[in-house]
Amino acid sequence: MVTVRAPATSANLGSGFDVFGAALDRPADVIRVEKADRTTIDVRGYGSEFIPEDPADNTVGAVAEALDAPAHIRIDKGIRPSSGLGSSGASAAAAALALNELYDRGLSRKELVPIAGKGEATVSGEVHLDNVAPALLGGFTVATGRDVTTVDADIPLVACLPEIAISTRDARDVVPAGATMEQLVYTVGRAATLTTGMCRNDPRLVGKGMHDRLVTPARADLISGYDEVREAALAAGATGVTVSGAGPGVLAACYPGDRREIAAAMVEGFAEVGVDSRAYQTKIG
């Protein structure tokens, strides 16, 4: 039997749609795998009632098939599904790692990224590596095509999850089909600023670089209370706020020591519009 912990991740970070990702030090899923003649999946924990156990419909089923590694797979969910914290990507990444070890396939973590990406596509409908790459490699990741680069960043974050469910498929439907040159220039500037901030462990640059005028506004419209929560987090000291992944989670970057106040302000912001939420004080890990 092999047991693996899979961290939550936050994709996009505002300006890096489908490219940037960050591994968070909490929450996390735990996956246990045992060899079997055919793959079976048993899901327990946070939101498990919403996750299909049929291998054809679950991210880890596609991973087991891609690695030719049938197994009994038990997933203990710590990451709420459809929250914007890479729940399905975490399971796919952990399954890839655990099955690779169980069957002695000898693949590196980097080689497992596209395999976990296949699993992720089962849920989102498209292959994007910005959750599975940080889940497997840790830190801040930049995934372009099959190339993934990583930075060992140490940035404090708060992730606030409202009790609203938005599927990645639905959130992808509102992404604009194109961009103007002005939007493109703005996005490149912010993305470069964010990357520089990650390399320097500078929360101010990371927060500034999160600002996005292209994808985030369309997705923010799906999240009741987004504007209130953003304003509240900024007033409490956040250096930047954006939608976490496809949402509805909201992510704030900040300086060490400011997380508690920002977390309380974000929960209060959602409460103002009658939405319950839970905030995680976390960091890139």
Residues forming the site for ligand HSE (CB under 6 A): 11-12, 18, 86, 128, 130-131, 168, 171-172, 245-246
Give the number of residues written for the chain: 285
Q: Please pick, among 122, 168, 187, 193, the residue that the annotation labels catalytic.
A: 168
Q: Nearer to ligand HSE by C-beta: 20 or 270?
A: 20
Known catalytic membership, residue 3: no
DSSP state of 50: G
d(CA 229, CA 232): 5
Peptide bond into 176 cis (omega under 30): no
Q: Nearer to ligand HSE by C-beta: 92 or 265?
A: 92
Helix (H) or strand (E) holding 196: helix 181-200
Known catalytic membership, residue 120: yes
Whether 158 contacts 279, CB under 8 Å:
yes
As measured in angstroms, the least distance from the Cβ of 54 to ligand HSE is 21
d(CA 131, CA 141): 9
| Helix/strand/coil for 60 | helix
Q: Nearer to ligand HSE by C-beta: 171 or 238?
A: 171
What single-letter amino acid sits at 227? D
As measured in angstroms, the least distance from the Cβ of 168 to ligand HSE is 5
What single-letter amino acid sits at 218? A
Q: Nearer to ligand HSE by C-beta: 203 or 247?
A: 247
As measured in angstroms, the least distance from the Cβ of 275 to ligand HSE is 20
d(CA 50, CA 163): 14
Q: Please pick, among 39, 120, 122, 187, the residue that the annotation labels catalytic.
A: 120
Q: Nearer to ligand HSE by C-beta: 55 or 245?
A: 245
As measured in angstroms, the least distance from the Cβ of 105 to ligand HSE is 26
As measured in angstroms, the least distance from the Cβ of 215 to ligand HSE is 7
Q: In the chain, where do the E strands start and end?
A: 2-11, 20-35, 40-45, 71-77, 140-144, 147-151, 156-162, 240-243, 250-253, 277-283
Q: Mind telling me the catalytic residues? A: 120, 168
